[in-house]
Amino acid sequence: MDQKYAALPQQVVDELRGMLAGGEELLRNSAEQAGEEYRRSRARFETIMNDAKRALAAAEVSAVHKARLAAAKTDLYVHKHPWQSVGYGAIAAAAVGVAIGLLIGRR
């Protein structure tokens, strides 16, 4: 797993997938173009596209792995400490309620 791509949000991943699909379509549609410089540029672009695909796949694998690990740790903690988990949830809910109350009170 490539750590530098591990924290990509889903929206960025989706946008990168769209860009890759567009680039692949461009490569397919321009296959008949002539000229040595064009062929070299096209080959460089294909290399970049392949690298981006690998990075995107690594980011996706890493994100899924981290999500599963976090879920497993949370599940283990809740099973070991059920009352603390309920207490933390209540505190978080109360904090959100106070924040919303303050925002509404300002209007």
List, for residues 29-83, the tens digit of each pLDDT value: 676 666 777 777 778 888 888 888 888 888 888 888 888 998 898 888 878 877 7
Domain membership flag for residue 31:
yes
Total domains, the chain: 1
pTM over 0.75: no
**Is 73 within the bounds of a domain?**
yes
Query: What pLDDT score was predicted for residue 32?
Result: 67
Buried b (16+ CB within 10 A) or exposed e, 75-93: eeeeeeeeeeeeeeeeeee
For residue 47, the enclosing domain spans: 3-81
